[in-house]
């Protein structure tokens, strides 16, 4: 039996927040989730309102997403995280931010 097929379109989003909106609309409509990469990983593994037996996720225009969601978006996200993270995590987040600004990682 064929696995369920879902499709997102990289031309429909320019920020990580818009990507999360697209994931919500296509994969798990109406479900609250963490809207971070760890939570997205959980969704991809199945069982989080997604089929336990797995599914196919087709990412149209992924090259557009690669360009739009690169280092600049990563740095923007890390800058936001740095403002609200626990003080014990600041050095790690700052190191990740510095790497993103150097276009590494």
Q: How many domains does the chain have?
A: 2
Residues 53, 42, single domain; the answer is yes
Q: What is the pLDDT of residues 26-42, one digit of tens each?
A: 999 999 999 988 899 99
65-66-68-74 Cα dihedral, nearest 10 degrees: 120
Beta bridge mates, 60: 9
Q: Which residues contact 73 (CB under 8 A, 6 or more apart)?
A: 15, 16
Residues 20, 58, single domain; the answer is yes
Residues 57, 92, single domain; the answer is no
Q: What is the pLDDT of residues 65-81, one digit of tens each?
A: 999 999 999 999 999 99
Q: Residue 77 sits in which domain range?
A: 71-101
Residues 18, 51, single domain; the answer is yes
User: Token match 């997604």: residue?
Assistant: 50
Tell me how far apart the alpha carbons of residues 11 and 7 are, in angstroms, rounded to a whole number. Answer: 12
Residues 52, 77, single domain; the answer is no
Contact yes or no for 33/18 (Cβ under 8 A): no
Task: Provide the whole-model pTM.
Answer: 0.82
């Amino acid at each position: 039996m064929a696995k369920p097929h879902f499709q997102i379109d990289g031309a429909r989003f320019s920020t990580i927040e818009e990507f999360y909106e697209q994931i919500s609309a296509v994969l798990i409509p109406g479900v609250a989730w963490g809207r971070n990469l760890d939570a997205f990983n959980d969704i991809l593994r199945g069982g989080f309102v997604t089929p336990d037996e797995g599914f196919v996720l087709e990412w149209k225009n992924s090259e557009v997403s690669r360009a739009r969601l690169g280092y600049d978006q990563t740095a923007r996200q890390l800058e936001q995280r740095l403002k609200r993270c626990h003080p014990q995590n600041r050095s790690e987040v700052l190191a990740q931010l510095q790497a993103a600004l150097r276009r590494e990682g």
